[in-house]
Amino acid sequence: MTPDWIACDWGTSNLRLWAMKDGAPVGERRSDRGMGRLDGPQAFEDALIEAAGDWAAPPVTVVACGMVGARQGWIEAPYIPVPAKPSASGLVRAPTRTPGLSVHIVPGMSQADPADVMRGEETQIAGHLALHRNWDGVLCLPGTHTKWAHVSVDEVVSFQTYMTGEMFAVLGQHSVLRHSLTDGWDDAAFEAGLEQGFDRPERLANRLFSLRAESLLSDPAPGAARARLSGLLIGAEIASAKPYWLGQRVAVLGDGVQADLYLRALAVQSVPVERSDATRATLAGLAAAHAALTA
Amino acid sequence: MTPDWIACDWGTSNLRLWAMKDGAPVGERRSDRGMGRLDGPQAFEDALIEAAGDWAAPPVTVVACGMVGARQGWIEAPYIPVPAKPSASGLVRAPTRTPGLSVHIVPGMSQADPADVMRGEETQIAGHLALHRNWDGVLCLPGTHTKWAHVSVDEVVSFQTYMTGEMFAVLGQHSVLRHSLTDGWDDAAFEAGLEQGFDRPERLANRLFSLRAESLLSDPAPGAARARLSGLLIGAEIASAKPYWLGQRVAVLGDGVQADLYLRALAVQSVPVERSDATRATLAGLAAAHAALTA
């Protein structure tokens, strides 16, 4: 099959490709050769061609977002400072050896003060705006590094990143909490953690140790500590991000369980919140970048 | 040399022994055979005898505090619930094979709500109280898990643990921040982090990511991110522990650089604060336990 072009989401851990035909995805391929597993810029072209298979028959155009454009990626696509339209300009062409292969990388966005950066999320935001004309409000993009972006008149005005997802992973695996986190999930413990985290977000480092102490002093249900840890961290984030969501139109742009947790956390605060599909948004954002490229 | 008895501080990573003669330490020996490196309860006796060398010639009495009394230690010394006098009762005799070797383990303390535990610190607190008669106030014991203890009429009334030290280590080694933490130390960055952490403790997860973004967007001085991370975490802890130190007599019970950082952080908030030597306190606490044993 010969696609019109290839859409590419290239993160730290994975590479996802879609064959695009007449404006729609007609196939998807994946590889685990994310930026983190590639040894230098020269390794990206082979990884792409291998993952794309017969789609890569030249001439072919690839539009890619994510860590592929980082300093340690294929080629650096310098950040676009906010306020700005996401992924509408600044695409960088990657160096290629294969004749007829043309790869364009969407730049991330940056904010000077407070210092912040994103790579990949700008494409999802652009896609969300392409799918929802004249959408003004706040987007929450759950992830390892969850982003809150204030969007107005098709521009990202400001944004804020929380290390919540990574703190959950790193503390759960490498701190003393690893002895307390049993498998499973306890919904009531998640909600209790959410409330504690939201009510006293400044006590996080103390509440974390309490999780450990509880498991020594009592015999919590399986999965209770894990769910409570998640609730504490997300609750504290929701409290801190209040200036972003209070009185705003809010959408959670994400897939899977993590997006569900943020939706529940916002519902507890009675925030009316929409859900926007992350894969659809990524594809729409890459399509918008492709259209701008060929315009 | 034959000591009157042996004082022992046995933690997760290390074992410290002091030969006690006429109420004073006359020698110190160390070993890296902490609880975490010993394979089950039966391994403790050999580790102790090896580290003590000729001090262990029977008959000999050892009084030990720390993780040696944890469930994974030599023998569990059940927590004493607060409010209570620290390490005044509840010593547990460890099973021994060597005739004439008698080992007594000081129990830790626990708090039901909010759930909290300590092991080892209760001995330092007891020692501080033995060294400073009628001392009422709040003790801050910096460490991997920093403790704040409210002490009144020789009892621990309540206490609070913060995972600050462990968060610093785990986030610095295992999160994306590891790419940003250069060697060295920048005092101005520590103070800036302290202020940010104290002013907006609820924004911790966001400030952590800002550290990463700053190192991508600018070129911070060597050691700036490390010092800022330390400042952010300690600043947030000081803010959260305010009900403990506000209007109280406060002493930092600790040694080394970490105690210095807490002293500086409290000084920034104009808290008049004393310093109490941790090793001296440990020895005084173990001596008090030994005295109670033989009384």
Q: Determine the distance in angstroms separating the CA of B213 from the nearest CA of chain A, rounded to an integer.
A: 5
Chain centroid to CA B242: 20
In a domain, residue B291? The reply is: no
Task: Give Cα separations from A62 to A34, A73, A110, B213 (angstroms).
Answer: 16, 16, 24, 28
The arithmetic mean of pLDDT across residues B185-208, rounded, is 97
| pLDDT for the residue numbered A197 | 97
Would you call B236 and A205 a contact, using CB atoms and an 8 Å cutoff? yes
| pLDDT for the residue numbered B87 | 75
B219 has pLDDT over 90: no
CATH number for the domain spanning B231: value is 3.30.420.310
What is the C-alpha to C-alpha distance for residues A236 and B205, in angstroms, rounded to an integer?
9
In a domain, residue A127? The reply is: no
Residues B70 and B15 in one domain: yes
| pLDDT for the residue numbered A200 | 97
Round the average pLDDT of chain B to a whole number and report it: 96
* Token pair of A275 as six digits: 């859900």
Would you call A217 and B79 a contact, using CB atoms and an 8 Å cutoff? yes
- The share of chain B scoring above pLDDT 70, in percent, equals 100
A286 SS3 class: helix
Lowest-pLDDT range of A20-29, A135-144, B217-226: B217-226
Instruction: With cut-offs at 50, 70 and 90, classify the pLDDT of residue B44.
Output: very high
Residues A10 and A114 in one domain: yes
Residues B171 and B112 in one domain: no
B264 has pLDDT over 80: yes
| pLDDT for the residue numbered A166 | 96
Q: Which amino acid is at B193?
A: G
| pLDDT for the residue numbered A73 | 96
| pLDDT for the residue numbered B224 | 95
B89 has pLDDT over 90: no
Number of domains in chain B: 2
> Final residue of a domain: which of B86, B119, B152?
B119
> Final residue of a domain: which of A51, A86, A119?
A119
Instruction: Give tens-digit pLDDT for A4-18.
Output: 999 999 999 999 999
Residues A113 and A177 in one domain: no
B85 has pLDDT over 80: yes
Q: Determine the distance in angstroms separating the CA of A58 from the nearest CA of chain B, rounded to an integer.
A: 35
Would you call B166 and A160 a contact, using CB atoms and an 8 Å cutoff? no
In a domain, residue A58? The reply is: yes
Within 10 angstroms of residue A64's Cβ, the number of other Cβ atoms is 30
Which residues of chain B neighbour A117 with C-beta distances below 8 Å? 212-213, 216-217
Closest-CA residue to B64 (of B85, B47, B39): B47
> Final residue of a domain: which of B88, B119, B150?
B119
| pLDDT for the residue numbered B273 | 96
The residue range of the domain holding A243 is 162-276
In a domain, residue B253? The reply is: yes
| pLDDT for the residue numbered A258 | 95
What is the C-alpha to C-alpha distance for residues A240 and A234, in angstroms, rounded to an integer?
10
State which H helix or E strand residue A184 sits in: none
Which residues of chain A neighbour B77 with C-beta distances below 8 Å? none
What is the C-alpha to C-alpha distance for residues B225 and B210, in angstroms, rounded to an integer?
10
Buried/exposed A220-242: b ≥16 CB within 10 Å, e otherwise: beebbbbbbbbbbbbbbbbbbbe
In a domain, residue A22? The reply is: yes
The arithmetic mean of pLDDT across residues A205-228, rounded, is 94
Chain centroid to CA B80: 17
CATH number for the domain spanning A44: value is 3.30.420.300
Q: Residue B161 is nearest to which of A111, A209, A239, comparing CB atoms?
A: A209
- The share of chain B scoring above pLDDT 90, in percent, equals 95
Q: Please tell me what DSSP assigns to residue A74.
A: S
What residue in B sits closest to A81 (Cα-Cα)? B217
Would you call A71 and B206 a contact, using CB atoms and an 8 Å cutoff? no
Instruction: Give tens-digit pLDDT for B104-138.
Output: 999 999 999 999 999 999 999 999 999 999 999 99
Q: Determine the distance in angstroms separating the CA of B285 from the nearest CA of chain A, rounded to an integer.
A: 23
| pLDDT for the residue numbered B63 | 97
Residues B9 and B115 in one domain: yes
In a domain, residue B242? The reply is: yes
In a domain, residue A66? The reply is: yes
Would you call B202 and A112 a contact, using CB atoms and an 8 Å cutoff? no
Instruction: With cut-offs at 50, 70 and 90, classify the pLDDT of residue A203.
Output: very high
Residues A177 and A229 in one domain: yes
In a domain, residue A270? The reply is: yes
| pLDDT for the residue numbered B220 | 87
Closest-CA residue to A273 (of A264, A283, A285): A264
Residues B90 and B196 in one domain: no
To test the contact with chain A by mutation, choose from B145, B158, B244 the residue with the greatest count of A C-beta atoms within 10 A, namely B145
Instruction: With cut-offs at 50, 70 and 90, classify the pLDDT of residue B29.
Output: very high
Instruction: Give tens-digit pLDDT for A82-111.
Output: 999 997 789 999 999 999 999 999 999 999
The arithmetic mean of pLDDT across residues B14-25, rounded, is 96
What is the C-alpha to C-alpha distance for residues B266 and A215, in angstroms, rounded to an integer?
32
Q: Which residue has the tokens 């460890």?
A: B94
Instruction: With cut-offs at 50, 70 and 90, classify the pLDDT of residue A294.
Output: confident
Q: Residue A175 is nearest to which of B161, B170, B240, comparing CB atoms?
A: B170
The arithmetic mean of pLDDT across residues A213-238, rounded, is 95
Residues A14 and A97 in one domain: yes
What is the C-alpha to C-alpha distance for residues B73 and B35, in angstroms, rounded to an integer?
6
Task: Give Cα separations from B208 to A54, A148, A161, A162, B226 (angstroms).
Answer: 43, 15, 9, 8, 11
A219 has pLDDT over 90: no
